[in-house]
Structure 1
Amino acid sequence: MNYAVIFAGGTGSRMNTKTRPKQFLTLHGKEIIIYTLEHFENHPDIDGISVVCIEGWIDYLKKLLDKYQIKKVKWISPGGTTGQESIYNGLNAMRDQISDESIVLVHDGVRPLIDEELISDNIEMVKKKGTAVTVVPAIETIMLVDENNQIVQNVDRQRCRVVRAPQSFRYQDILEAHDKARKAGINNIVDSATMMAAEGYTLYPVEGKPENIKITTPSDYYTFRAIVEAEENSQILGL
């Protein structure tokens, strides 16, 4: 069985919007979170979805799920104080309700430009290797700086990958890692890949498409809009 944990517990301070959180901003009348959820809803191998949402927006989310006929969302949890805690809440909601061997894809609610192939590739990689982390090749020069903010080393770009999402694991493995971190009082690990690497797991990359961006700033939103409109135009015009 395969499940998705979609975390949308952030307030989006970098988006400069005072009206609503970034995951509930709309494009062509549809909320970003719905664009994201529809990919998992429509994927034949996804059996259920756990959504983490800002607590004050849960009722609104439920109305959207009904409006857009999103049927696979089985758990809705309030967001935490950090991204790590939000993901834990989404995982913990499924505790004792799904098999330990189930595959869980952890994904950002504001990363709506994924596709069926990427979800399938994540599932297959976990089946084969036990972990799957979506990446894209680094396309710009990368350098390291020291504590004095001086450039000290040029990094071989050919060996660099930018980590994105989904990040996918066996349910028992990722839940145990979170339980261990919480017991140790750790609550600020940046993402699931970092947590699992710290636990000694070997991470296996799944290459995604460059447009699989996280919508964090206004410019990200405009990029998202341009890509969606380009896809719509290609369908209409047959390009």
Structure 2
Amino acid sequence: MNIAVIYAGGMGSRLHNYSRPKQFIEFRSKPIVIYTIEIFQRISAVDGIVVVCLEDWIPYLRHEVEKYNLDKVLHIVPGGRKGQDSIYNGLVCVKDHYPDDTMVLIHDGVRPLAMDKTILECIEVANEKGNCVVVVPAMETIVVEGENGDWSVPNRSNCYVARAPQCFRLGDVMAAHRKALKEEKHDFIDTCTMMKYYGYKFNTILGTAENIKITTPADCFMFRAIIEAREEGVVFGL
């Protein structure tokens, strides 16, 4: 069983010029989060979807889900104070309905350009090896600040950027979240960071560069350009 947990519970402060949370910004009258949900809706290997949403926006999202006939959306649950808390809320919902060996595909609601092929490969590796995280090679030099103020420059050929989906067995990722709650740790930047902290090893696959997370106004422009380029590619056979 493969269940997508799409978290869209943030306010998007870096898109402060917009009048609504970033996941509900519209392109061609369709919210970004709907573009994201549609990816998992059309992939047959995904058995269901749980969406974590800002509580005040749940009625609006329910309306949009019905409007676009996204019948794989099983539940919409309220988000938490931080992204980590929102993901946990989604996982609790999955736990209430599915066994511990369920594979959960944790994905940002504002990452609407993931390729079907990438998600299918992620599911295949996760079910074979127990987990899988999508990564892309670092395209620029990484510099790391040390505790004493010195800077180090790791070999870029060994550096990757973690993206999504990040797939883990439900029992494993719930165990890590419960440890974090017990220790009052709420600042893990993403799930693979948490899993690594608690001793889990994870497997990776290479994703595509366009699988961006929409965080800034520039990302919105890139999203629109990529959508239009994909459509032109289909029309003109590019």
TM-score (norm 1): 0.96
Greater mean deviation of Cα atoms: 188-197 or 140-149: 140-149
The one-letter amino acid paired with 1:90 is G
Kept in 2: contact 1:103–1:126 (CA 8 A): yes
Match of 2:205 in 1: 206
Output one character per residue of 1:53-99: Cα deviation in whole Å (capped at 9) or x when no partner.
00100000000000000001111111110111000000001223102
Report deviation, 1:148. Answer: 6.3
Partner of 1:140 in structure 2? 140
Distance in 2, Cα, partners of 1:234 & 1:84 = 37
Measure the CA separation in 1 of the matches of 2:52 and 2:96.
Answer: 18
Q: Residues of 1 paired with 2:86 and 2:61: CA distance? A: 16
How far the C-alpha of 1:17 sits from its partner, in A, is 3.1
Q: Equivalent residue for 1:96?
A: 96
Alpha-carbon deviation of 1:18?
Answer: 4.0
Q: Deviations over 1:35-69 (max 9, x none)?
A: 00001001001111110000100000000000000
CA contact (8 A) 2:134 2:165 kept: yes
Offset of residue 146 of structure 1 = 3.0
Distance 1:58 1:149 in 2: 45
Give the whole-Å Cα distance in 1 for the aligned partners of 2:180 and 2:44.
Answer: 33
Correspondences of 1:107-126 after superposition (within 5 Å) = 107-126=107-126
The number of residues matched between the two structures is: 238
- Give, in angstroms, the shift of residue 32 of structure 1: 0.4
**In the TM superposition, what are the counterparts of 1:51-90 in structure 2 within 5 Å?**
51-90=51-90
Distance 2:182 2:236 in 1: 56
Is the Cα–Cα contact under 8 Å of residues 7 and 86 in structure 1 kept in the other structure?
A: yes
SS in 2 for 1:135: strand
Which stretches in structure 2 are left out of the alignment for 5+ residues?
none
1:145-182 deviations in Å (ceiling 9; x for gaps): 234655x2211001000011100000111111111211
Instruction: Please tell me the residue identity of whatever aligns with 2:172.
Output: D
Given that residues 16 and 218 in structure 1 are in contact (C-alpha distance below 8 angstroms), is that contact kept between their aligned partners in structure 2? no
Contact 2:2–2:47 (CA under 8 A) maintained in structure 1:
yes
Q: Once superposed, what is the RMSD of the aligned Cα atoms?
A: 1.2
Per mean C-alpha deviation after superposition, the further-off stretch among 3-12 and 18-27 is 18-27
Match of 1:7 in 2: 7
Partners of 2:3 and 2:141 in 1: how far apart? 36
C-alpha distance in 2 between matches for 1:69 and 1:217:
29
- In structure 1, what is the equivalent of residue 234 of structure 2? 235
Q: Which residue of 2 aligns with 1:165?
A: 164
Paired amino acid for 2:183 = A
Q: TM-score, normalised by structure 2?
A: 0.97
Q: Does 1:186 align with 2:185?
A: yes
Query: Unpaired runs of 5+ in structure 1?
Result: none
Tell me which residue corresponds to 1:44.
Answer: 44
Indicate the SS of the match to 1:94: helix
Letter in 2 for 1:134: V
Mapped to 2, the partners of 1:42 and 1:200 lie a distance apart of: 34
| Alpha carbons 2:7, 2:52 under 8 Å: kept | yes
Q: Secondary structure at the match of 1:142?
A: coil
CA distance in 2, matches of 1:149, 1:184: 28
Q: Is the 8 A contact 1:142 1:157 kept in 2?
A: yes
Residues 95 and 170 in structure 2, CA contact (< 8 A), matched pair in contact too: no
